[in-house]
Amino acid sequence: MKLVFIGAPGAGKGTYAQYLREKYCIPHISTGDIFREEIAKGSELGRRVKEYIDRGELVPDDIVIEVVKKRLNQPDTRNGFILDGFPRTLNQARALDEIVVIDAVIYLNVSEEVAVKRLSGRRICPVCGRVYNIYYEPKPRNDEKCDYDGAQLIMREDDRPEIVRNRYRVFHETFKPIIDYYRNKGLLIEVDSNRSIREVMPELEELLKKKGILRIKPCKPDIKPD
């Protein structure tokens, strides 16, 4: 099950990916997470990436493509993976075609107002990376602390409402060619993600099964969407 998730900020890419990762034991690969980890470690890659980010520039395609190619060659991707945050350009999409055959591209379509509310309430565990929301499920049970490791949850700076609105507009301006690219290849599956994951996920799983994409059995079959 080799999937790409595309969606505006607040569409729920991280929430959907976390559910599939835990139920089917396939890795959720986020280029943003990889870059943040490398910056925190102070690695050579992290220093190169930080230079671009500090200048407010996009990380060049050749660096991003090399990072993704290296990650997809790891043994834990044998049964599949979920790519989140890649590709972001047509050049990256075409490069991905040279690296691996993708089964489907899930386009999580969300309205601007829903996106703003979701992200302004989003909180993230800095230890395990789990995502919570103070307005929607899954909510933290204990005063904005992680249910699993007790770490104080954090709000990312780019989840503030005014920043979310700008990110939303930028997404639709920059991703239209990529969405059209995958639609023309017959790989795009569009999902109305204004609804909750509890409503959408069973429909999406059933569709992936019918298309012959979901071919692996759950490693944790009792997991249900929150």
Within a domain: residue 212? no
Q: Per the confidence metrics, is the pTM higher than 0.85?
A: no
Q: What is the DSSP letter of 76?
A: G
pLDDT of residue 131: 86
Q: Is 195 a catalytic residue?
A: no
pLDDT of residue 111: 96
Could you tell me the two tokens for 192?
A: 């109305």
pLDDT of residue 150: 93
Within a domain: residue 210? no
Q: Is 47 a catalytic residue?
A: no
The closest of 147, 101, 135, 127 to 3, measured between CA atoms, is: 101
Within a domain: residue 164? yes
- ∠ CA 90-94-95, rounded to 5°: 115
| Distance in angstroms (rounded) separating the CA atoms of residues 122 and 138 | 10
pLDDT of residue 155: 92
pLDDT tens for the chain, residues 1 to 226: 999 999 998 898 888 998 999 999 999 998 888 888 888 888 888 888 889 888 878 889 998 998 898 889 899 998 899 999 899 999 999 999 999 999 999 999 999 999 999 889 989 999 998 988 888 878 999 888 999 999 999 998 888 899 999 989 999 999 999 999 999 999 999 999 999 888 999 999 999 999 999 988 999 888 888 7
Within a domain: residue 70? yes
pLDDT of residue 178: 96
Among 48, 117, 145, 167, the active-site one is: 167
The closest of 10, 19, 28, 23 to 193, measured between CA atoms, is: 10
Within a domain: residue 224? no
Within a domain: residue 105? yes
Among 156, 198, 209, 215, the active-site one is: 156
Within a domain: residue 219? no
Handedness of CA 110, 112, 117, 123 (dihedral sign): positive
What secondary structure does DSSP assign to 196-208, as a single string? -HHHHHHHHHHHH
Cα→Cα distances 196→70, 93, 188, 193, 202, Å: 34, 28, 20, 7, 11
Q: Which CATH number do you get for residue 165?
A: 3.40.50.300
Among 118, 122, 123, 130, the active-site one is: 122
Among 23, 71, 88, 130, the active-site one is: 88
Among 13, 71, 118, 130, the active-site one is: 13
Q: Is 122 a catalytic residue?
A: yes
Q: Which residue segment(s) compose the domain that 27 sits in?
A: 2-205
Q: Is 13 a catalytic residue?
A: yes
pLDDT of residue 77: 92
Within a domain: residue 211? no
Q: Is 211 a catalytic residue?
A: no
pLDDT of residue 195: 92
Tally of domains in the chain: 1
